[in-house]
Structure 1
Amino acid sequence: MNKSSILLKTSSLLWIIWGLVHMLAGVMTMKGVLIEDISASFIGIADAVNPEVLVLDYPKAVGAVVGQHGFNLFWIGLVTFISAFFIWKGNTSAIFLAALTGGLADLGYFLFLDLGGFVNFVPGTIMTIISSLAIITSFYVQFKNKTTH
């Protein structure tokens, strides 16, 4: 097995983990909205914030926005999970699809939640590191192969 193959397989495994975690997070976020406990969704997301501050009687419109966020977490996780199996084989389109969906989702997380100080290091920040490593390893293979041909 050559270095490029190992890197693509590593990237694939990282995206599988990332995708599964985000599908679960999406389900958990939507669950809080569907059972009309919007506070539970916020507490699950902003885990560095005192939970008592987040327990409020939120308007239904806020629940709808949080529900949409959960849905987006789910489908982005699903897209990266499926892409991972194509990345394993070196599919360029899958590499870029996972990087765009997962990478941009985590960029938003990093900018607004991490830098805002609303989350603990685990699990969200670790997921940002995982997606970054997945992007770096697969892009390295892609751009290395482009420059050697």
Structure 2
Amino acid sequence: MTNISFLPPRPSRLSQKLRAAIEATVTKGTTIVDACKEAGMSTQGYHKAMKRAAVRDYLETVQRRFVADVEANRALYKARAFEVALDLMLNAKSDAIRARMCEFLAGDAKVSPVAVHIDARQDRGGYEFVRPGQRLVEIEPDGRSKSDGQ
């Protein structure tokens, strides 16, 4: 009787160029074409390699590692954003910016206080916004104006 032993499958090897192209697309956000140029490989070779399960697994691994790194640095990014907001609050030339940064740092600016919707399908040749307390004035073709409510 023969003794048959199974060898583990040989690990798939990925070229350095392919690894560099995958890293560039995930971490830098470059297009596949630009990542392949930067890595020194053809886009056809990249797409052909993506058909292999080992390459897709490597892509998923790089994506998971990138997301984990961003999540790990989230507190640092938030701290830096607060430093910038504090600097703007103290040193901005505009009163509006300083007031906005006060609201932001106080935690009151969770939702934008103004929501504007513009309907671009209007046939009137422009947009109208009437502030409370103002009158709407329409221009007639003969040049006269007529006020709303009169």
TM-score normalised over the length of structure 1: 0.26
Report the structure, 1 or 2, having the larger helix content.
1
TM-score normalised over the length of structure 2: 0.26
Structure with the bigger RCO (C-alpha within 8 Å, sep 6+) is 1
